[in-house]
Chains A and B, each alone.
Chain A
Amino acid sequence: MTATVDRRRSNRAPYLLLIPAVGILLVGMGYPLVWQVVTSTQEYGLQQQFGKAAPFVFLDNYLELASKPAFWAVVAKSIAFCLVTAGLTLGVGVLLALLMNAVGKAPRIILQISLLLAWSMPVVAAMTVWIWLFDRRRGAVNFLLDLVPGVDMNRFNWLETPATFFLVASVIVIWMSVPFVAFSTFAGLTQVSDEVLEAAQLDGATGRQRFFGIILPMIKPVIAIVFLLQIIWDLRVFTQITMLQDAGSKSSEFDLLGTYIYKLGTKSQDFGMASAVSILVLAITILLSWFYIRSLLKEDEQ
């Protein structure tokens, strides 16, 4: 697994190989990243865009943020949303992968194609359709639920309260993210040896025991990285939330970190503060994924 390499011959090779990647990262991300860190320590608003000097306030932006209960409320909501959504995405994705593995060719291909279609639909297009489906007056969801006897969903406004708002957001994000998880996990499952499973079955292991004892450990690496990525993405989710707000309410109780930064930056022109929030989100993401990063680095040592 680890490469054995003649160190003397390849002293310069890795660095040369890294030049393009490092180069493009420095060009594309370097300046913006430095700008963001610097701006987070300044008072930077619209006037600074037009030439006024930006006074340094060092950690004031951060302190001001830390003292705003509204900020922590958004952080708490974002972490909760992220964990629930990523968790459910993972759960559903793994289950669908198991389903794909357990069925014949035809149903499997049908399922895979439908997941592919969902995955490849552009976000803007998908959001337009989903908002349309949940429209309180003309949406198909209300119409269909209304057909269930005893349920009255006529004119039910899904986007009116934060609880149902985030429920809809979660459903949409899960719908968009499950295909990636399902395919990755399915790929991992095909590596699990059928013989080992059969042997275990002959020995009397139940389905559950086979899953937790054999399958799960083998696909753990896949699940781990996929879960990490979901957490990173779901914590910063922006487009879905902002489009739902456009259709529903722009009130701050419907904000997650992505829209919070956007409102501070683009909408209120307080770019210093927006930069500070971005850096904080970076810190939070690192914290949430710390265990995984540590285990990755340890694995590298071996």
Chain B
Amino acid sequence: MKKRIVAVAAATAAALMLAGCASGDDASGGADAKDITLWLNGGDTPDALRDFLKTEYADATGGTLTIEEQSWTDALAKLTTALPDAENTPDVVEIGNTWAPTFTNAGAFTDLSDMYDELGGDKLLPSFVEVGSVDDKQYALPYYFGSRYMFYRKDVWEKAGITVPTTLAEFNDAAAKLTTDGQSGFYIGGEDWRNGVSWIFANGGELAVKDGDDWKSSLSDPKTVEGLTQLQTLFADASLAPVTEADSTPWVNINNNESTGAPEAATIIAPGWAHWSIGDPSPDPKDATKVVNTWNDATFGTFVLPGIDGGVAPVFAGGSNIAISAASKKQDSAKALMKIVFSEEYQKMLGENGLGPANLDYASSLGDDQFATALIDSAAESKLTPAAPGWAAVEGSGLLEEFFGKVNGGGDVEALAEEYDKKIDELING
């Protein structure tokens, strides 16, 4: 008995010592007014760019930049608790563009209006600037933009004798014709509103509009209903995806399925970065257990979703904003980092890595291959989610997934639109 007590006490003492070592407590005090923390979401910003920021920041201020990566699913909880806390807030944060209005309206970010022109002013992507502004003051500025466009199997399309569509109606028809028992003409999940909303936008509809000082959900607007009905038909005729699926790993559906030798779908819609994973599989030269997919122009192709009357359909713009935490005690250092982010060099690096730079002057750094062209063309017409104070709550509630799922499940579009307008209105104004 005694031995066990001693053993336990020893273990605890060891644990306490480990605790002292493991504690990430950094020294407080003015010494590190120049050491700041940047929170990035997911793996979107490549390592090369992160290293660049760290070296440039050290050169410019002599301080250390720590970059912490947050997962998209958990970021909301962490931002909610950390941003208001002056002692522990990250100094600069990447904030998803759909969350930017909510946090900006809540007062989470520093007013950057006086730096706005210096950082790029009018050249910064306007729609992204808008979601980060309140009363004509800029708080969260664009960081990078992405866009979505179509990837298709040239071999499947050619076999069916169908050419790349130039209007939305042609696309809807083509997708239906290409569908067989085992293959979707166009793969889209029933609850996938981020992609499905393109049909609403293409028909001139909106998710919500500002009416005076308040936002109102506009799912029942006739143009929105028109778009939803089109989507409903398209889903029924062309997609074999489950009606409850919200996000699917895009390239899984367009690459060949190795048991059947054929793809799950003839066409998919995906964010631009998906192209790195689309192609013919072959063993990774660096690691035989991994597979690398190499793009093959004969089999795979891209096009932008066409609009109702030709041209380009508005799609949902992906991307993030970037902002300085209002509670941060290191405002000057944070601003120094912002200048680096918006510098010509960094903006070009974003473009070279397939991330649309915030400053449109440098959009050419994206290149001129088919992917860059598709990205730029689709982004030019792209739209964001409503810049409403409560939009993050609407997204978090899952109402849009639910609504789209029911529409694609074959429900009465108008009745559902009215029902969900009411539910969304409860949350949208924060």
Contacts and interface: CB of A to CB of B under 8 A. Distances in A.
Q: Do chains A and B touch in the complex (CB under 8 A)?
A: yes
Contacts of A250: 191, 246, 398, 401-402
A269 B77 CA distance: 9
B191 A50 contact: no
Interface residues of A, number: 24
**Interface residues of A: mostly helix, strand, loop or mixed?**
loop
Given A249-B401, A250-B246, A270 B107 contact: no
Contacts of A159: 244
A10 interface: no
B397 interface: yes
A157 B393 CA distance: 29
A252 B396 contact: no
A252 B107 contact: no
A266 B244 contact: no
B108 interface: yes
Q: Which of A47, A159, A267 has the most CB of B within 10 A?
A: A267
Contacts of B106: 45-47, 49-50, 52
B84 A269 contact: no
Contact of A251 (B80, B102, B107, B244): B244
A210 interface: no
B244 A248 contact: yes
Contacts of B398: 250-252, 263, 267
Given A159-B244, A160-B242, A46 B396 contact: no
A269 B101 CA distance: 14
Contacts, number: 85
A159 to B, nearest CB: 7
A136 interface: yes
B107 A51 contact: yes
B430 A45 contact: yes
Contacts of B102: 46, 269
Nearest to A268: B393
Given A46-B430, A269-B393, A160 B244 contact: yes
B430 A160 contact: no
A251 B401 contact: yes
Q: Which of B84, B394, B398 has the most CB of A within 10 A?
A: B398
Given A46-B102, A49-B106, A160-B244, A268 B396 contact: yes
A249 B245 CA distance: 6
A269 B191 CA distance: 22
28 contacts: A45-B106, A45-B393, A46-B102, A47-B105, A47-B106, A49-B80, A49-B84, A50-B83, A50-B108, A51-B84, A52-B106, A136-B242, A160-B242, A249-B245, A250-B398, A250-B402, A251-B244, A251-B398, A251-B401, A253-B402, A263-B397, A263-B398, A266-B80, A267-B395, A267-B396, A268-B393, A268-B397, A269-B392
Nearest first, the 6 closest Cβ-Cβ pairs linking A and B are A267-B396, A249-B244, A268-B393, A250-B398, A251-B402, A50-B107
Interface of B: 73, 76-77, 80-81, 83-84, 102-103, 105-108, 191, 242-246, 326, 392-399, 401-402, 405, 427, 430
Interface of A: 45-47, 49-52, 136, 157, 159-160, 246, 248-253, 263, 266-270
